[in-house]
Chain A
Amino acid sequence: MSRNLLELQNITKSYDGQLILDDLTLDIHENSFVTFLGPSGCGKTTTLRIIGGFEKPDKGRVFFDGKDITDLPANKRQLNTVFQKYALFPHMSIEDNIAFGLRIKNKTDAYIKDKIKYALKLVNLDGFEKRSIDSLSGGQQQRIAIARAIVNEPRLLLLDEPLGALDLKLRQEMQYELIRLKNELGITFIYVTHDQEEALTMSDYVVVMNQGYIQQAGSPEQIYNEPENAFVADFIGDSNIVPGIMVEDYHVRIFGADFKCVDAGFGTNKPVDVVIRPEDLEIIDDDDPRAILHGEMTHIIFKGEIYEMECTTPDGFEWLIHSTELHEPGKKVGLYVKPSNIQVMNKPESEDEEALGVEE
């Protein structure tokens, strides 16, 4: 593993007596693409603002490259921010916007000119030097904001929901642009978003946050396939979260039906939460011997690449199923899940943990 560029240690922050971040500790490796993911108000933007130097934590320290920067003001930090809604300087040309940081640092005109050219090329806006900010589309303004930040050669780039204001198609395009930029620049990105798909697409490392706590941190695959609690499972993609009993290792009972699974170490006859992704539920014939659950198809929505369907089992639970095969409502079917596609999670134990759980 590469070394830590940034370390957050026991960061606590509250506004008007309301706790926003509670004892948050996190290491960020050099050259990684890290995403803070969570619903609004989860503390992700506050964390970013603390790293950027726009907020001071009430408690805890921030280390950058091994040095304590907790008390260092924003204008002395070796990092740059791409703000939500771009925050370009409306009274300056594109050129002057990009040159702002370099002129502050008293770089030579020739150097600045080269840098502007290089940065505009990097964000695919060659020749835009003299244009005014108003003449740009949202996506172009976003690129200029990125160019303005990267000409300063930061070692860490903070991006605060930079694609939030763009339409879907442009957003997807910019996601690939950002991955390319990160690889070309070879610097660390910290990205804040509430869009789980964006987080999974772009990052090496996803930090899922809720109510000021880190719920789970790991690679996108880990977060998606092995959610540690109901919040993560529910927030990342669609999922069926059902109560179950861990009868013994590799054996979980859901609504009286016995499933084989790959999880162990929960003890015997222990209540657990079980996550099954909608695409992992296979619809088979009602009389197929593999069928573990039996139910009736109730709803169907065509989503483009898949059908989103619901199958109600006799206990009344509506299972969400994604499949490319159409099964008409009213049809009696059997359901099967591969053992490796069943994810067993501990139930929240304390009330405090309960508070972190899913909010409907």
Chain B
Amino acid sequence: MKNNTSRYLAGPYVIWIVGFIVIPLLTIVYYGFTDRNNAFTLNNIAQILVWENYRPLYRAMILSAVCTAICFLLAFPLTMILRSLKVGRSSLIVFIFILPMWMNSLLRVLAWQTLLERKGVINGILTAMHLPEQHLINTTAAVLIGMVYDFLPFMILPLFNALMKIDDNTINAAYDLGASYWQTLTKIILPLSVPGIVSGVTMVFVPALTTFAISNMLGGGKIYLIGNVIEQEFMQDSDWNEGSGLSLVLMVFVIVSMLIVNHFEDKNDMRKGGVI
């Protein structure tokens, strides 16, 4: 009886999974392995070996890795400070750091566009101070700033949760046994925050790797990432086959990255689990 109810309740979700996850995925796989005449081909996949496609993927990997590293380096000290201030999970200060997550992400990138533009806010201030105008927009740095700004909250939240879970006395015990601050940080606090780090890295790295909006808006078409390539295949060249093939390759990169990251979590033998 109870079992039957659960089965009926699961129904809509099964429809969801099949209709909105499995079928689209299979469609992409189908397009990815066929040409315009619906004949099987590996050409679409092999397109990644072409310099024009390979380079944006390589660039996206580097940029998203750097973005993830910067987010971690910014978020970890911040969350350590929040922890030591003993602010609660629902405190105003945490809320403020998380607040940008609730705004449209394109809007946030647009804000940076306004700041960085040739006649934008920053150059306006520089001019007013009789300093030379800087070339800010349409650079790799601009794209990186946009990524970090956009994805930082996704690093802060899981890290903060993980750090708040660590008992004060666990840290005190390390000091009590003679450990210095650095030893306590590396041997106790960092290993215990691995679930949070894994979640944070996943939630920053994956969207950064696949983004095309940020590179479009802050890179002005000059900073070409794999996301832009795929977008172009679909939107401008209307080549669904090649676009799907490259999407599959990107997916493999994401899966491999996640396997590597999750491997760290397993190695630390944490059973507490993170967000992802």
Instruction: Tell me the complex Cα distance, A236–B173, Å.
Output: 31
| Residues in A neighbouring B268, C-beta threshold 8 A | 91
Q: Are B167 and A87 in contact (CB under 8 A)?
A: yes
Contact of A83 among B172, B191, B194, B271 (CB under 8 A): B172
Q: Chain B's nearest CB lies how many Å from the CB of A236? A: 28
Least CB separation from A148: chain B residue: B177
The stretch among B31-39, B119-127, B146-154, B178-186 that forms the contact with chain A is: B178-186
Q: Which residues of B contact A81 (CB under 8 A)?
A: 172-173, 176
Taking a contact as CB atoms under 8 Å apart, the answer to whether B175 and A80 are in contact is: no
- List A73-91 residues whose CB lies under 8 Å from chain B: 73-76, 80-81, 83-85, 87-91
The answer to whether the Cβ of B270 comes within 8 Å of any Cβ in the partner chain is yes
Is A100 a contact of B172 with CB atoms below 8 Å?
no
Q: In the bound complex, do residue A91 and residue B172 qualify as a contact, i.e. CB atoms below 8 Å apart?
A: no
Residue A168 is within 8 A (CB to CB) of chain B in the complex: no
A105 vs B180: C-alpha distance when bound (angstroms): 11
Are B172 and A85 in contact, CB atoms less than 8 angstroms apart?
no
Residue B188 interfacial (CB < 8 Å): yes
B210: min CB distance to chain A, Å = 32
Q: Which residue of B lies closest to A49 (CB)?
A: B172
Chain B 156-191 per-residue mask, 1 if CB under 8 angstroms from chain A, else 0 = 000000000001011011111111100100011001
Total interface residues on B, using CB and 8 Å?
23
Query: Digit string of A118-141 for contact with B (CB within 8 Å is 1, else 0)?
Result: 000000000000001010000000
Task: Flag whether A312 is at the interface (Cβ < 8 A).
Answer: no
Does residue A278 face the partner (Cβ distance < 8 Å to B)? no
Residues A132 and B269 in contact, CB atoms below 8 Å apart: yes
Instruction: For the complex, give the distance between the alpha carbons of A134 and B178 in Å.
Output: 24
Judge whether B78 is part of the interface by a CB distance below 8 angstroms: no
Q: Are A91 and B177 touching (Cβ within 8 A)?
A: no
Which residue of A has the minimal Cβ distance to B170? A87
Q: Collect the chain B residues with CB atoms within 8 Å of residue A100's CB.
A: 174, 177, 179, 187
In whole angstroms, how far apart are the Cα atoms of A125 and B176 in the complex?
A: 23
Q: Which of A87, A91, A132 contacts B173 (CB 8 A)?
A: A87
Whether A54 sits at the interface, judged by CB under 8 Å, is yes
| B82 contacts the other chain (CB 8 A) | no
CB-CB nearest in chain B for A80 = B176
For A85, what are the chain B residues with a Cβ–Cβ distance below 8 Å?
A: 167, 169
Residues of A within 8 A of B187 (CB): 100
Q: What 1/0 flags go to B255-276 for Cβ under 8 Å of A?
A: 0000000000000111110000
With contact pairs A73-B175, A75-B175, A83-B173 given, residues A90 and B180 touching in the complex (Cβ less than 8 Å) = no
Expressed in whole angstroms, the Cα–Cα distance for A84 and B167 within the complex equals: 11
Known interface pairs A87-B167, A104-B178; A74-B192 also in contact (CB < 8 Å): no
Q: What separation, in Å, do the CA atoms of A91 and B167 have in the docked complex?
A: 13
- Report the nearest A residue to B181, measured CB to CB: A75
Residue among B169, B180, B269 with the most chain A CB within 10 A?
A: B169
Nearest CB in chain A to that of B271: its residue = A134
- In the complex, A339→B72 CA distance in Å? 74
Give chain B residues whose Cβ lies under 8 Å from the Cβ of A76.
178
Q: What are 29 A-to-B residue pairs whose CB atoms are below 8 Å?
A: A53-B175, A54-B175, A73-B175, A74-B175, A75-B176, A75-B179, A75-B180, A80-B176, A80-B177, A83-B169, A85-B167, A87-B169, A87-B172, A87-B173, A88-B173, A89-B173, A89-B192, A90-B170, A90-B192, A90-B272, A91-B270, A100-B177, A100-B187, A104-B177, A104-B179, A105-B178, A132-B269, A148-B173, A149-B177
Interface residues of A (CB under 8 A from B): 52-54, 73-76, 80-81, 83-85, 87-91, 100-101, 104-105, 132, 134, 148-149, 152
